[in-house]
Amino acid sequence: MLTSLGHPSRPRFLLRIVLPFAAVAVTLNVIAAGFLYWSTAEADRISTDRQRALVDLVISQLRETVAHDQESVTVWDDAVDGVRRRDLGWIDVNLGSWMNSYFGHDGAYILDPHDEPIYASIDGGAVDPTKLYDIWSRAGPLASNLRRRLRDVDEEGISDQVLSIGASDIAVAGGRPAIVSVKPIVSDSGEIEQVAGEEYLHVAVRYLDGTLLQELQDSYLLDGLRFSWDDAVAADEAASPLTGSAGNVMGYYIWRPYRPGSIVFGSVWPILVGLFVTGMAVLSVLLLVLRRRSLSLNRSQAEIRHLAWHDGLTGLPNRVHFEHRLQEAVTTAADRDQTMALLYLDLDRFKEVNDTLGHPAGDMLLREFSERLRRAVDPADAVARLGGDEFTIILRNVDSEEAIEQLCSKLVESARHPFHLSNTQIFVGVSIGVAVGRAGEVDAIDLTRQADMALYAAKKNGRSGYAVFTPDMETLLTERRELERDLRKALDLPEQFQIHYQPLFEAKSKKLVGVEALLRWQHPVRGAVGPDVFIPLAEEAGLIDRLGEFVLRGACIAACGWPVETLAVNASAVELANPAYAMRVTNILLATGLSPNRLELEVTETAMSDMDGVSRANVAALRKLGVRFALDDFGTGFSSLGRLQQLDVDRIKIDRSFISGFGSGNGDEAIVRAIVDLAKARGLRTTGEGVETAEQSSFLAEIGCDELQGFLMGRPLSQDALQDVFFSE
């Protein structure tokens, strides 16, 4: 009975429990094994793709690095002089072997203005310059393209980090893949005249195989990295194409990629075979682990993409991303017949923050300003950082220009609020240039150019404000460039400049005690150009040092033979910030024979209040020599009567605006009396400017003003006229 009942139970057990369970178990394990295999392959693929992206990124950055390395020697006055003299010894040390020993460049060549090689260096050693022809098939077109851009004065791509334009590509040099980069050898001071397009060129070659392969393998764990001219790879290898600018494939980097999925799969498979019953649980855990690793790889790949499109400091879109989004916005605006706007923003006084508090404080300021921009604009609009302290905002589907101006006012006001950096309050500002792309008239290049011109206009108008582009801005910018060009030419033709001298009289005796040197520019076409026009232009164009030296030298020569106690010469804040200024003044005094205690340098109160360490050192050195300093146009800048006690000067010149206001009931007499009394208490001399009436002269003499200057007693005169009127016997 038991036997008859037991036998029928086995088939039922097998059929109803064991077989279905076994079938389900096998099916689930097959499915799990298949899914595990797929996850393994996917993880391997993502890891390989990430390494390919890493290789592409490294090669792309290497091209920029080679060009940046070149700028350390090509943007240099000494380099221009060295190649012009064709001093091959100097060239070899500074432009050849240096590039190999310090930067690891494999080759360096120097081309003259006719693209003829005058020097060549391979692996740090000078060789026959004709070796250049080995790479000329690629370097030649790059040099030609660069010369065309130089002749066209094309400055696209120049920024705080990129000092000169260049051309580079990936090419085959000497049967090896290499980066070929061409840079012009140009003046860093701008004082060496060069014909655009006829500069000497520096060609750098960096091979992309050899030692570079070992560096990449060690730095980025690219196992077995090698270079091949074709993409024939083994089953366990991956390849990444090396492409030139035109998209042509030069060859392939091949390596054995790290395969995390395969490694994990190989370690867990024996356990799954041996533990069939518990394998389902183990498999689930392993799948979860693999999934997490896949997600981690995806995140890493996303981070690489993010770094390529975003600024590392602020997290904002970078220049490349901005250009892409601007083109998208322009296309959308044109398709939908919408109006858009582009804002260029530049922080005011950002350089002073870096110079005084250091770059970490500057970085904190940039991050905080970026957050303020994000909060101020609509999420649909695009904020980007182009580099340095330059930002942009793309406004889509703008309702009206009033809305743009409201946003600009909001941004300007936001930047005026103090920035709290390391327990220090920093006050800066922002200048904004706006270009509006109206429906049907939107072009990315024009918008960029117009916004840049509007930004220039905003800075010209006093900074911490905004300007919307108008057609006359382009005309004004063109006129400014022409005037700057004429000013540069005039410095080489000094007969256009004349130094006039305005007499300075003792207040009570009316005795001539000094003269102030004033520069006049007689333009051959424009006529007389006022100092208020060409002096700021000279400061912006980097010409003020030459202009100031011309005036100081001419005035010292003239004053040597005059029986006056004081020769006053204006000194720009830009000149004072030059580390060589004190030495330049000293050399002029020695060369002309003028006694230092007869020279008085006039500086505006704003410049004296905002002096950095270099300016203070120049003032201290010249005062020690005996040179005196006067505070010009007192009352028109940031100084107060209290602030006057802290300024290191010998004389203050009371601005003509106070003196002309005598008798108007505005209290100017009381202000001037207070200035004179405070100056006496501080042991300073005072000079009244713009004296035009006898009443003004009498009042100033009565309250104790020391010297007077103005049309009442003498207008500015040429050297000969001054000699005839005051010094002729």
Query: Whole-angstrom Cα distance, residue 382 to residue 397?
Result: 12
Report whether pLDDT(475) > 50. yes
Q: Are 73 and 181 in contact (CB under 8 A)?
A: no
Band (pLDDT 50/70/90 cuts) for residue 500 is very high
pLDDT at 443 over 90: no
The average pLDDT across 267-282 equals 68
Confidence at residue 352, expressed as pLDDT on a 0 to 100 scale:
72
Per-residue pLDDT tens over the stretch 187-240: 988 889 888 889 999 999 999 888 888 878 887 778 888 888 888 888 888 888
Task: State the pLDDT at residue 535.
Answer: 84
For residue 399, give both structure tokens.
């309702």
463 forms beta bridges with none
* Residues 437 and 524 placed together within one structural domain of the fold: no
Question: How many domains are there within the chain?
Answer: 4
Cα–Cα distance for residue pair 314/366, rounded to 1 Å: 7
DSSP of 305-330: HHHHHB-TTT-SB-HHHHHHHHHHHH
Q: How far apart are CA 575 and CA 315, in angstroms?
A: 38
Closest to 86 in 3D by CA, of 118, 49, 62, 52? 118
Residues 155 and 194: beta-carbon distance below 8 Å = no
Nearest to 43 by CA among 304, 301, 300, 290: 290
> Mean pLDDT of all residues in the chain?
83
At 700, which CATH number? 3.20.20.450
User: What average pLDDT score do residues 326-351 get?
Assistant: 87
CB 455 within 8 A of CB 433: yes
Which residue, of 208, 230, 253, is where some domain finishes? 208
Residue ending a domain, choose from 428, 445, 469: 469
Judgement on whether residues 505 and 649 belong to the same structural domain of the protein? yes
Residue 506 included in any domain: yes
| Residue 261 within a domain | no
Q: Is residue 457 part of a domain?
A: yes
Higher pLDDT, 65 or 610: 65
pLDDT attached to residue 203: 93
Residue 256 lies in a domain: no
Same domain, 633 and 680: yes
Please report which confidence band the pLDDT of residue 625 belongs to, taking 50, 70 and 90 as the band edges. very high
Whether 649 and 513 map to the same domain: the answer is: yes
What residue numbers bound the domain in which 681 lies? 480-727
Whether residue 648 sits in one domain with residue 552: yes
pLDDT number for residue 610: 55
In a domain, 254, yes or no: no
Is the pLDDT confidence value at 241 over 70? yes
User: What is the reported pLDDT for 229?
Assistant: 85
Query: Could you please report the per-residue DSSP string of 151-167?
Result: HTT--TT--SS--S--E
Which of 633, 635, 645 lies closest to 709 in space, CA to CA? 633
Residue 597 lies in a domain: yes
Residue 230 falls inside a structural domain: no
| Model pLDDT, residue 379 | 83
Query: Are residue 614 and residue 685 in the same domain, yes or no?
Result: yes
Evaluate if residue 527 carries a pLDDT over 80: yes
pLDDT at site 637: 45
pLDDT higher at 391 or 128: 391
**CB neighbour list of residue 517: distance below 8 Å, 6 or more residues apart:** 499, 500, 501, 551, 552, 554, 555, 567, 568, 569, 570
> Residue 338 belongs to a domain with what CATH number?
3.30.70.270
Q: In this structure, are 614 and 690 located in the same domain?
A: yes
Q: Which of 154, 184, 208 is the last residue of a domain?
A: 208
Other CB atoms within 10 A of residue 194 CB = 17
Q: Quick one: 355 and 465 in the same domain? A: yes
**Alpha carbon distance 358, 182 (integer Å):** 34
> If we measure between CA atoms, which residue out of 467, 465, 463 comes closest to residue 450?
467
Band (pLDDT 50/70/90 cuts) for residue 298 is low
Backbone phi and psi for residue 510, each to the nearest 5 degrees, phi listed first? 60, 25
pLDDT band at 608 (very low <50, low <70, confident <90, very high): low
Distance CA 508, CA 529 (A): 35
pLDDT band at 7 (very low <50, low <70, confident <90, very high): very low
Whether residue 619 sits in one domain with residue 587: yes
| Model pLDDT, residue 425 | 77
In the chain, pLDDT over 90 holds for what percent of residues?
Answer: 21
Do 720 and 621 fall into the same domain? yes
Residues 530 and 622 in one domain: yes
The predicted pLDDT at position 725 comes to 86
pLDDT at 130 over 70: yes
Residue that has been written with the tokens 């500057």 in this structure: 362
Please report which helix (H) or strand (E) contains residue 223, including its range. strand 223-228
For residue 647, pLDDT beyond 80? no
Q: Same domain, yes or no, for 90 and 116?
A: yes
Q: Is residue 552 part of a domain?
A: yes
Q: In a 3-state reduction of DSSP, which class is residue 393?
A: strand
Quick one: the chain helix, strand, coil %, rounded to 5?
A: 50, 20, 25
